[in-house]
Amino acid sequence: MKKLILAVAVVASGLSTYALTINPIPSEITTISITEEFKEVALENVPTAVTEAVTKNFSTATLKKAYVNSSEQYKLELSIDGTDNVVYVDKDGNWLKLTDIEITPSTEQ
């Protein structure tokens, strides 16, 4: 009887090791780089509506750099309380989500 219990314990422990194996599921990460579509512009060339939107919504922010694409959407690098942030806005001062950015294929080579 002791041998039977011991045999069952050995078999059960052997099967439990298979139950504990963890098979990692590969995850796919897609990164879209849209920075190539934006070209840097001088801060004085940024439309008034854009600078007013920054002032209104981020009163403590400092505009460090500005970029524009062919659809007149702006990528702004702001410094807010010592932290660098990137926001997107259209030429009329309306805030954009990253999914709202229009990406046009580059024709330069």
Q: Can you spell out the DSSP letters for 50-94? A: HHHHHHHH-TTEEEEEEEE-TT-EEEEEEEETTEEEEEEEETTS-
Distance CA 49, CA 91 (A): 7
φ/ψ of 56, rounded to 5, equals -70, -45
Task: Output 38 or 28, whichever has higher pLDDT.
Answer: 38
If pLDDT is split at 50, 70 and 90, which confidence band does 71 have? confident
Type of residue found at 84? D
Type of residue found at 4? L
Give the per-residue pLDDT at 94. Answer: 92
If pLDDT is split at 50, 70 and 90, which confidence band does 64 have? very high
CATH class of the domain defined by 27-100: alpha beta
Structural domain boundaries in the chain: 27-100
pLDDT at 107 over 60: no
